Amino acid sequence: MTDLWRGVLYLHLLSMAFFVGGQLVFGLAVVPVLRDEGDRERMRAVARRFGYGSLIALGLLILTGWALASHFQLWGSSTLQLKLTLLAALIVVGLIHLRFGKAHALQGLILLLTLAIVWLGLRLATGG
Ligand code: HEM
């Protein structure tokens, strides 16, 4: 693998780290603390910034993932197709979540879908 493609994979993984890590920090630390303090305004402000960051990370994941799939000729891979199906589901659930912000089950579902997508990414990169 050349350094150029290693760089693309690096960006893919950095975005993945933000996307997964952000959800964990937000769900395990920010939401419980600000909810206990009853600070709705702040929670909304943090959620907005977190949302923008996640959207940028997701955009980078799609761009770099697209480039990697083309470069490594992986479009025919059933693992990639399953990964993209789960990604489509993630986007749909994410949009529903924007409409119903307080539905915690949706946040849990988004995290589960993300973790499954990460697993499929690993399977893809390790030839599974
Ligand atoms: C939420 C979105 C995504 C997440 C969390 C994610 C996560 C990952 C992870 C963890 C890896 C493993 C990298 C490694 O171990 O070296 C990976 C690899 C990969 N991903 Fe994604 N990914 C996402 C979206 C996408 C999209 C949209 C595409 C294609 C359009 C894509 C295409 C690929 C490809 C082709 C590889 C394998 C690269 C290689 O063979 O080295 N990913 N992804």
60 and 111 together in one domain:
no
pTM: 0.92
| Among 30, 50, 73, residue at a domain's last position | 73
Alpha carbon of 38 to those of 42, 48, 68, 80: distances in Å? Answer: 9, 17, 44, 42
66 and 99 together in one domain:
no
Query: How many domains is the chain partitioned into structurally?
Result: 2
pLDDT value, residue 95: 94
Ligand 1 center–CA 33 separation, angstroms: 33
Tell me the average pLDDT across 29-58. Answer: 89
65 and 49 together in one domain:
yes
Identify the residue whose C-alpha is closest to ligand 1 atom 10.
Answer: 118
Identify the residue whose C-alpha is closest to ligand 1 atom 43.
Answer: 121
Q: Tell me how many helices (H) and strands (E) the chain has.
A: 5, 0
Residue type, 87: L
Which tokens belong to 104? 């915690």
* Percent of the chain residues past pLDDT 90, beyond the cut: 77
Instruction: Label residue 55 by pLDDT band (50, 70, 90).
Output: very high
| pLDDT tens-digit map of 74-109 | 999 999 999 999 999 999 999 999 898 778 899 999
Identify the residue whose C-alpha is closest to ligand 1 atom 27.
Answer: 62
Residues 64 and 1: their CA atoms lie apart, in Å, by 15
90 and 100 together in one domain:
yes
79 and 55 together in one domain:
no
90 and 107 together in one domain:
yes
Which ligand 1 atom minimizes the distance to the CA of 61?
A: 24
Q: Whole domain around residue 61: which residue ranges?
A: 1-73
Q: Are 74 and 68 in contact (CB under 8 A)?
A: yes
pLDDT value, residue 101: 76
Q: Which residues line ligand 1 (CB under 6 A)?
A: 9, 12-13, 16, 19, 61-62, 65-66, 68-69, 72, 74, 87, 114, 117-118, 121-122, 124-125
Ligand 1 center–CA 97 separation, angstroms: 24
